[in-house]
Amino acid sequence: MYVVKRGWHIDIGIARADAQPPLQPVAAAFPESRYLLFGFGDRRYLLQGGGVGNSVAALWGGAGLVMVTSIGLQQLEQVFGRDSVVQVELTPQQMSDLQGFIGRTFATRDGAIVRVTPGPHAVGSFSAYYESAQRYSALHTCNTWAAEVLQSADLPVSSSGVEFASQLWHQVQRLESAGAALGFLVRRCDRRVSPKGRIAKRCAKVRVSIHTAIAGRLCSSIRRLSGSFASCADVICAGESGDSP
Residues 6+ apart with CB under 8 A from 243: none
- Tell me: pLDDT of 45 over 80: yes
Determine the distance from the C-alpha atom of residue 46 to the mean position of all C-alpha atoms in its chain, rounded to a whole number: 22
Domain ranges across the chain? 2-159, 172-241
Strand ranges inside the chain, DSSP E: 2-6, 9-15, 35-42, 62-70, 85-87, 108-109, 112-113, 115-116, 128-136
pLDDT of residue 61: 57
pLDDT of residue 68: 97
The four Cα atoms 205, 207, 210, 211 give a dihedral, to 10 degrees, of -160
pLDDT range class, residue 211, cuts 50, 70, 90: very low
- Tell me: pLDDT of 146 over 80: yes
- Give the separation between CA 9 and CA 40, rounded to whole angstroms: 9
